[in-house]
Amino acid sequence: MRNVAVVGAQWGDEGKGKIVDWLSEQADVVVRFQGGHNAGHTLVVGNKTYKLSLLPSGVVRPEKLSVIGAGVVVDPWALLSEIETVQELGVAVSPESLLLADNATLILAVHRQIDKAREALRGERKIGTTGRGIGPAYEDKVARRAVRVSDLDDADDLRRKLEELYAHHNIYLKAAGEPEASVDEAFADLTEIAPRILPFAAPVWRHLEELRRRDRRILFEGAQGIMLDVDHGTYPYVTSSNTVAGQAATGSGTGPTTIGYVLGITKAYTTRVGSGPFPSELTDEIGQQLGERGHEFGTVTGRKRRCGWFDAVMVRQAIKTAGITGIALTKLDVLDGFTELKVCDGYELDGKRIDYFPSGGRAQASVRPIYRTLEGWTGSTRGARSWADLPGNAVKYIRLIEELIDAPVSMLSTSPEREDTILVKNPFLD
pLDDT in tens, 73-83: 999 999 999 99
Is-contact 169 143, C-beta < 8 A?
no
Asked whether the bond before 236 is cis by omega within 30 degrees of 0, the reply is yes
Q: Within 10 A of 186 (CB to CB), how many other CB atoms are there?
A: 20
Q: What is the pLDDT of residue 45?
A: 74
**Residue 236 burial (C-beta neighbours within 10 Å; 0-12, 13-18, 19+):** exposed
Is-contact 343 387, C-beta < 8 A?
no
Q: Within 10 A of 139 (CB to CB), how many other CB atoms are there?
A: 15
Q: What is the pLDDT of residue 201?
A: 98
Q: What is the pLDDT of residue 377?
A: 96
Q: What is the pLDDT of residue 215?
A: 92
Q: What is the pLDDT of residue 1?
A: 55
Q: What is the pLDDT of residue 127?
A: 67
41 is catalytic: yes
- pLDDT < 70: residue spans in the chain: 1, 124-128, 298-302, 430
232 is catalytic: no
Q: What is the pLDDT of residue 337?
A: 94
Which among 13, 75, 140, 333 is annotated as catalytic? 13
Q: 3-class DSSP state for residue 40?
A: coil
**DSSP code of 2?**
-
Beta-sheet pairing, 259-267 with 218-221: unpaired
* Residue 28: closest CA among 206, 218, 207: 218
Q: What is the pLDDT of residue 238?
A: 92
User: Rounded CA gap, 303 and 290, in Å?
Assistant: 15
Quote the pTM value: 0.93
> What residues have CB less than 8 Å from 112, skipping those under 6 apart?
131, 132, 133
pLDDT tens by residue, 248-268:
999 999 999 999 999 999 999
Which among 21, 28, 37, 41 is annotated as catalytic? 41
Strand partners, 272: 306
